[in-house]
Amino acid sequence: MSGHAARIPRYELHCHLDGSVRPGTVADLAREQGITLDRPVGELVVAPAHCGSLTTFLTHIDLPLQVLQTPDALTRTARELVEDWERDGVVHGEVRFAPQLHLRHGMTRDEAVRAVAEGLAQGRATTGVSTGLLLCCLRHQSPDESLAVTETALRHRDVVTGLDLAGDERLYGARPHRPAFDLAHRAGLPCTVHAGEAAGPESMWEAIDVLGARRIGHGVRCTSDTALLNRLRTDTIALEMCPTSNVQTGAVPSLSDHPATTLLTDGLPVTISTDTRTTSATTLQREFTSLRKATGWTSRHEALAQENAAQASFSTRSD
């Protein structure tokens, strides 16, 4: 770790478990489970620099999802993520996953949540990194499925710290999932929503006004809407921006076009995360290095982004 990384404690708020499995672990799990890989594991799990769409990007998570269908696999992966956070200078990391995607071999949603929570606990014990766990509802799934995810989250309030809605907002609106988010709000469970990634400002307004999002996943397409910028600033709705991923999915054309630095300078609560450490072959250190090269990012920008992230964290508990 560089001295610079040691000086500024890092907070990662937007990190998907299934997109952050070490390639070697994917290979190990595939071997243990009798899954034959037709290409080197790196080609299967790391997305190209420019995928052109979120849909193409997500195909590189298919294999990790395939091997993450047992409690042991989830526990190992969660533990290793905390270890990776420590190496990256992260003092608090929040990981998210959709338990309903891990039921192919009979595991229940509750078992999936407990398995990830156990891995996080093991990681905390050896690293001292504090963690949060968010569960993801998925836009393309039914409102009933989202309600089941929220109910699962509420059964595990001792380990679950937030709720998310993920998926392609160009193809699927957020409104059908309002009952799940209303339930979360009634129970005091904070919510974030992926928006302003595949679609424009209207998806961010929907996330805020319909689902009550306290944070926005990505939010890079907000710059053209002055009223939205004012709302984000006034209500301190944090933007969980992931520069490398945002370029890969086509949410922004290039790193030099990424709005994070400008928005941060303009007083928006910008935070920086990796999104998917493996799919995007990145770390927070790499994200900051890339921003410095492409957009004039400075140590002051990093310090401010970390302040924003610390304040926007859904939980800094370590128990």
In sequence order, which residues have a C-beta less than 8 Å from that of residue 152 and are 6 or more positions away?
A: 99, 109, 110, 113, 135, 160
DSSP state of 307: H
The region, left, alpha or beta by phi > 0 then psi within -120 to 50, assigned to residue 218 is left
What is the chain's mean pLDDT, rounded?
Answer: 94
pLDDT level of residue 3 (50, 70, 90 thresholds): very low
Angle at 189 between CA 186 and CA 191, to 5 degrees: 110
Average pLDDT over residues 102-116: 98
Domains of the chain: 9-312 (3.20.20.140)
Question: What gap in Å lies between CA 101 and CA 65, rounded to an integer?
Answer: 8
pTM for the full model?
A: 0.95
In the sheet where 162-166 sits, what is the strand order?
10-16, 90-97, 130-138, 162-166, 191-195, 215-218, 238-241, 270-272
| Residue range 237-272, pLDDT digits in tens | 999 999 999 999 989 999 999 999 999 999 999 999
**Which residue is catalytic, options 197, 240, 287, 302?**
197
Q: 84 φ, ψ to 5°?
A: -65, -40
pLDDT at 7 over 80: no
Radius of gyration over every alpha carbon of the chain, rounded to an integer in angstroms: 18
In this predicted structure, what is the pLDDT of residue 5?
A: 41
169 is catalytic: no
**99 is written with which tokens?**
């338990």
Residue 223 φ then ψ, to 5°:
-65, -20
Residue 50 is predicted with a pLDDT of: 85
Nearest partner of 162 among 124, 188, 130, 128, judged by Cα: 188
Q: In this predicted structure, what is the pLDDT of residue 33? A: 95
Residue type at 181 in one-letter notation: F
**DSSP-assigned states of every residue in 115-139:** HHHHHHHHHHHHH--EEEEEEEEET
Per-residue pLDDT band for 319 (boundaries 50, 70, 90) equals: very low
Res. 52: pLDDT tops 60: yes
% of the chain exceeding 70 in pLDDT: 97
The pLDDT value given to residue 57 = 87
Q: How far apart are CA 313 and CA 41, in angstroms?
A: 33
Of 314, 312, 298, nearest in space to 8 by CA: 298
- Give per-residue pLDDT as tens, 64-102: 999 999 999 999 999 999 999 999 999 999 999 999 999
Among the ranges given (45-54, 64-73, 113-122, 167-176), the one the predictor scored with the smallest mean pLDDT: 45-54
Phi and psi torsions of 156, nearest 5°: -125, 40
* Helix, strand, or coil (residue 162): strand
In DSSP notation, 280-297 reads TT--HHHHHHHHHHHH--
- Burial bucket for residue 66 (CB in 10 Å: 0-12, 13-18, 19+): middle
Question: Using CA atoms, how far apart are residues 95 and 131, in angstroms rounded to an integer?
Answer: 8
Q: Look at residue 292 in the predicted model and tell me its pLDDT.
A: 95
- pLDDT score of 122 more than 60: yes
* pLDDT of 132 over the 60 cut: yes
Helix-, strand-, coil-residue percentages of the chain, each rounded to 5: 50, 15, 35
16-30, 81-95, 106-120, 304-318: least confident range: 304-318
Give the confidence band of 224 by pLDDT, cuts at 50, 70, 90. very high
Whether the pLDDT of residue 1 is over 50: the answer is: no
Q: What is the mean pLDDT of residues 205-231?
A: 97
Query: Are the beta carbons of 140 and 171 closer than 8 angstroms?
Result: yes
In the prediction, which pLDDT does 27 show? Answer: 97
243 Cβ partners below 8 Å, 6+ apart?
252, 255, 258, 260, 272, 287, 290, 291
Indicate if the pLDDT at residue 142 is higher than 90.
yes
